[in-house]
Amino acid sequence: MSNDNRSKKKQGKRKGRKAPLAFEFNEVEKHYGDVIAVGPVSFTVEAGQAVALVGHNGSGKSTLLSLAAGVADVSEGFVNIAGAEAGSSAARAALSYIPDHPVLYDDLSLWEHIEYLSHLHGSTPEAHDAEGLIDRLGLTSRVDDLPSTFSRGLRQKSAIVVALCRPFAVLVIDEPFSGLDRTGREALLELITEVRDERGSVLVATHDPQMLDVFDRAVMLEQGEVVFDGDATDLKI
């Protein structure tokens, strides 16, 4: 075979290769001693999907998201994020994570958080329209204040802005709606849709059935295992 033909064959294989899945959970289990908190769980999420992870408190939602974010270790199976092992530097670069209780620095203002996180990821606040996000979430008057003085709702809004002011391919959010007012909820739902429409992937844990309309798909956990995986509008809670 000539060098030209070999080159064409390799190009053809590259063109036919599928992009890595945004999320891949394969027979995932998390144990705490003899207690199985999650598992076994298997499902995948493709690029450009917004998926709601649904279940009652204690069903394993937060645990599963912490495994995806790499802040907890898998006991069995594996989790891949955009083709990289969860917790690896490549996975952390691809994933932006908003936990149930946002972690913010006590001695940095909201704007200093935005500058620090965006620069840490090789970007700038302007590249992600930080000022526009601040305005949409009603934080303009608090941008120079310390989040340590904020209510739970304001801290939640701050965490959303900070998470979106950096490059990412996948967005993970744990129970974001409970601490938000109506304006904050509407803004977040719009932002989730925008991330999905730009080919980003979103995985959001929620127990609020009223929030499902914006999602393409729902995965429901019960006692740490998947009991439903399908169209979000078909899920009855």
Predicted pLDDT at 18: 63
pLDDT in tens, 170-207: 999 998 887 888 889 999 999 999 999 988 899 999 88
Predicted pLDDT at 71: 92
Residue 80 lies in a domain: yes
Residue 176 lies in a domain: yes
Residue 14 lies in a domain: no
Sign of the CA dihedral running 144, 149, 150, 155: positive
Domain count, the chain: 1
Residue 78 lies in a domain: yes
Distance CA 170, CA 167 (A): 9
Distance CA 134, CA 141 (A): 9
Residue 140 lies in a domain: yes
What's the number of CA atoms in the CB half-sphere (13 Å) around residue 8? Answer: 5
What's the number of CA atoms in the CB half-sphere (13 Å) around residue 146? Answer: 6
Q: Residue 2 — pLDDT band, cuts 50, 70, 90?
A: very low
Is the pTM value of this prediction over 0.75? yes
Q: Which two tokens stand for residue 45?
A: 């999420």
Distance CA 86, CA 82 (A): 9
Q: Which structural domain range is residue 24 located in? A: 20-234
Cβ neighbours of 61 (radius 10 Å): 27
The CATH number for 68's domain is: 3.40.50.300
Q: What is the mean pLDDT of residues 19-41?
A: 90
Q: Cβ distance 121 to 96 under 8 Å? A: no
Q: Cβ distance 124 to 165 under 8 Å? A: no
Residue 11 lies in a domain: no
Distance CA 233, CA 215 (A): 8
pLDDT in tens, 120-178: 999 999 999 999 999 999 999 999 999 989 999 999 999 999 999 999 999 999 988 87
Predicted pLDDT at 102: 87
Backbone angles phi, psi at 161, to 5 degrees: -60, -50
Q: Give the burial class of 15: count Cβ atoms within 10 A of its Cβ; 0-12 exposed, 13-18 middle, 19 or more buried.
A: exposed
Among 26-30, 34-38, 49-53, 92-96, the least confident range: 34-38
Residue 9 lies in a domain: no
The three-class DSSP label of residue 176 is coil
Predicted pLDDT at 210: 75
Residue 8 lies in a domain: no
Predicted pLDDT at 11: 39
Q: What is the mean pLDDT of residues 57-72?
A: 92
Considering the chain, what is the average pLDDT of its residues? 88
Q: Is the pLDDT of residue 1 over 70?
A: no
